[in-house]
Structure 1
Amino acid sequence: MRRWMRPAALVLALLAGAGTTGFTADPVPPAGSAPPPAPPLDPDLAAQVDELARAALTNGVTGAVVGVSDPDRGSYLQAYGTADAAGTPMTTDVHYRIASVTKTFTAQAVLRLADQGKLSLDDPLEKYVPDIPHGDEITVHHLLGMRGGVYDFVADEEFMAQYVADPLLPGWTPYDVLEIIRAHADEATPPGQATVYSNSEYVLLGLVIEQVTGRSAQQYTTSVIEDLGLPETSYPATAALPEPFTHGYMNTDSQLAPTDPAAEEPRDVTLSNPVVPFTAGAVISTVPDMTHYAEQLATGTGLAPETARLRQEWTPLTSTGIRVQYGLGVLQLGDWVGHNGSIFGYSDMVSHLPEEEASVVVMVNAADGEAVPADDLWAGIVRLLYPDSLPTW
């Protein structure tokens, strides 16, 4: 299971047009209208969070950042370890690749276009991207909910071998993804039968955005991010990260790309081509921005009320263990609403607990797109602070 590739599984979605045509969402409230900051987290709880975070600095993870925002229990923002193998202290404002949390912005973009009447969620994929297996049956709605049955291109062994060898993959385009999908036509399934995570479906949504808007997916997604008021969040056009940033490393227990036993430090994979994950995983942010965004995501900020409701019509991703479900570009893990991700060098979880109006965000600086090291740290913090919030099936 690859995640940015792939969403969290700690045991490890309609209406045509989705809203009134021409609807214009209420603007995001200005920063000055925000409620007063929460008090600090209880020192004893903070010390336990610290212990959990420091214990997570293993298997190539040199540093982590944790953000907690709770109007009752208090707020907490703390960095741990180092931002690189050279020993530079980790800070809370570092930029990192948010991996599959990008999908939440892609879904926001598509749903906004639906609210504006520029596309319908019932539109067939074939209208925008031709020659995809079952493309005349797959709808935009199916793609948003991971119910399109499209082959996940990251499962292609030849692609993955090339990506592991060189994460910069010069010359790669989203159309290379289409060729992989078409080459695996016999592994596609008819849409609407099951909820199965596929990065390909969110690459296809990026191409839908481009066809509908006449702009690049990078440009349009940037406008969505700006409208949400997230100043440290960006969709990069190059392999570079904004300053300050944490280096990203391949986790040393990776099954996908085993670490050379002779290596003195984990493999640095900070630089990677954002066109490879595209609208399935290219966005960069910080923990403070994502802590603010977690509530926006869970409450449907920027969408018509009916669209926000539709976005959280869940379908199961698992059938045992902790309840994991998918909506339209958003994950429900237990009672938490958000998303997680893993890409070369970075793993994170962005989550909001509506009943408590609380958000917990975690970032660690080692991953391989397969393992999601942030999940275990996030789960430990959530079980400490909100022990009843992870119900099982």
Structure 2
Amino acid sequence: MKKIFIAFMSLAFLCVSCAGFGQNQAAQLDTLMQAYTSLNKFNGTLLVTKNGKVLLNKGYGYRNLANRVLHDKNSVFQIGSVTKQFTTTIILKLQAEKKLSVQDPISKYFPQYPKGDSITIENLMLHTSGIYNYTNDRTFMQNEVTKPANMEKMMAMFKDNPLGFTPGKGWSYSNSAYLLLGYIIESVTKKPYEQIVHDYIFKPLKMTHSGFDFTHLQDKYKSTGYFAVTEKDTIPSTIVDSSVSFSAGAIYSTTEDLLRWHQGLLKNIVLTNAQQEKAYTPVKNHYGYGWSIDSVYGKRVLSHGGGIHGFTSNFSRLPADDVCIVLLSNASSGGLSKITNDIYAILYNKPYEVPRARKAIVLAEDKLKQYIGEYTINERLNLVIELKGSELIATPTNQRPAVLHPEKEDNFFVKEPDIQLKFTRNDKQEIDGFILFQNGAEVKCPKIK
């Protein structure tokens, strides 16, 4: 359910060594994951296939840290927003059965919905509805998500909020929109959303370890979710009730079940090729019907990440070469996109770096003072850097401060997650900003004060 955004978080990590092309790909993948795991940058399971062959399907770290139960390929995780592609698949199936149309206005199903005549089912799937995202309500997400909630309660959280833009004219990630899709599915079929997904997808694909009610799941392979897994601390998470995440993010699954999902799509078992091509057509922000569409080394990649209390996931497919990458983690920390990029590099014999611990050096106080100031990361996020004692302290907007550790002059890192800062200088050799490196992305952040 997690919205995709760039945030400044506090974590230390380093990628240094280059790829070892002498190893076979399975060994390279395992070496990479062992490195991420040893640095507390991954805790979960990974499955990788190429050309229909499983190269690796293995657990790393702990299913339950308190009891020291290790992960294996059978571990069960919540997959968060990866759920969305299952929801849009049902919508396409129902459209093929002429039970609805993606061009239907939502007022057809919710007659009292404000401006419902101007919002279509397709807008909901594409995140172009402008509907307020209920997971932006921090109080609710911190205090209420463990409690069951019916449709009326959930819709009350966003229905009367003003639209962020004219439907179809903008793009904004909205879990609320995907809740509405689930309610529409129930309205059309007169059956619970969960049963429809089971009957249309899980059952024909034999996804026997997938479901919805993670709170009450009794399974020895069930993973315990953690808000944090670090050298110093582990913080178990609460479980979001499936009625709250619902059709936006309630599914739990395993790596092998998600491989069955990938194979079912490749073989057109659940959707026809034409239906899939429609789903994989990006309209705005590289987004289709519950899929992010991008390319790797000139080949189309279909993917979606997920984040829900205590769990993160990334499901990535390159259909042309029957590549499927499933990363499931029982920790809320990010970084799975970076790991996915490294895996693609291994699969296509491109350079990559194996992570290892960064080492801080000591910089004199007069050198540290030159980095003091305020910087802009994005329109909602600034970073204030201060010198306190002998340490540079970075405080992002509405977030906890973190110590910036110097690796060399103009290059700093923090001790969780995968973030580095490289300061830049103008013609007068004055600091004028920094480049933020996170999850494989680079963001230029100018100095404003």
Task: Name the counterpart of 2:170.
Answer: 194
1:355 partner SS: helix
Larger Rg: 2
1:272 partner SS: coil
2:157 alignment partner, one of 161, 180, 183: 180
Q: CA deviation at 1:304?
A: 3.7
Q: CA deviation at 1:5?
A: 2.8
Q: CA deviation at 1:202?
A: 0.5
Give identity over the alignment, percent: 25
* Structure ranking higher in strand proportion: 2
Matched, 1:380 2:342: yes
The normalised TM-score by structure 1 is 0.77
Task: Name the counterpart of 2:316.
Answer: 351
Q: CA deviation at 1:206?
A: 0.5
Q: Deviations over 1:334-354 (max 9, x none)?
A: 331132201111111112112
Q: Distance in 2 between matches of 1:171 and 1:287?
A: 27
Pairs within 5 Å for 1:72-87: 75-86=55-66, 87=68
1:204 alignment partner, one of 165, 180, 186: 180
Say whether the 8 Å CA contact 1:297–1:338 is kept in structure 2.
Answer: no
Say whether the 8 Å CA contact 2:92–2:275 is kept in structure 1.
Answer: yes
Q: Distance in 1 between matches of 2:217 and 2:171?
A: 34
Q: Distance in 1 between matches of 2:52 and 2:265?
A: 20
Task: Tell me: CA distance 1:56–1:69, structure 2 relative to 1, closer, same or farther (3 Å).
Answer: same
Task: Tell me: CA distance 1:274–1:250, structure 2 relative to 1, closer, same or farther (3 Å).
Answer: same
Task: Name the counterpart of 1:308.
Answer: 276
Matched, 1:326 2:302: no
Unaligned runs of 5+ in 1: 13-41, 254-262, 318-324
Q: CA deviation at 1:156?
A: 1.8
Q: Distance in 2 between matches of 1:61 and 1:294?
A: 26
Pairs within 5 Å for 1:1-393: 4-6=1-3, 44-57=24-37, 63-71=43-51, 75-86=55-66, 87-163=68-144, 167-168=145-146, 170-185=147-162, 187-224=163-200, 225-236=202-213, 238-240=215-217, 242-251=219-228, 265-269=233-237, 271-297=239-265, 300-317=268-285, 325-334=286-295, 335-367=300-332, 372-386=334-348
Task: Name the counterpart of 1:257.
Answer: none
Q: Deviations over 1:247-288 (max 9, x none)?
A: 1100368xxxxxxxxx97422126331111110000111011
Task: Tell me: CA distance 1:241–1:228, structure 2 relative to 1, closer, same or farther (3 Å).
Answer: same
Task: Tell me: CA distance 1:295–1:69, structure 2 relative to 1, closer, same or farther (3 Å).
Answer: same
Task: Name the counterpart of 1:322.
Answer: none
Q: Distance in 2 between matches of 1:230 and 1:191?
A: 36
Task: Name the counterpart of 2:414.
Answer: none
Q: Deviations over 1:212-242 (max 9, x none)?
A: 0111112212212213332222222754363
Say whether the 8 Å CA contact 1:172–1:276 is kept in structure 2.
Answer: yes
Q: Distance in 1 between matches of 2:251 and 2:78?
A: 6
Q: CA deviation at 1:121?
A: 1.1
Say whether the 8 Å CA contact 2:303–2:316 is kept in structure 1.
Answer: yes
Relative contact order (alpha carbons < 8 A, sep ≥ 6): 1 or 2 greater? 1
Q: Distance in 2 between matches of 1:296 and 1:352?
A: 12
Q: Distance in 1 between matches of 2:229 and 2:54?
A: 35
The normalised TM-score by structure 2 is 0.68
Say whether the 8 Å CA contact 2:240–2:308 is kept in structure 1.
Answer: no
RMSD between aligned residues: 3.2
Q: Distance in 2 between matches of 1:56 and 1:244?
A: 22
1:351 partner SS: strand
Say whether the 8 Å CA contact 2:47–2:54 is kept in structure 1.
Answer: no
Q: CA deviation at 1:8?
A: 8.3
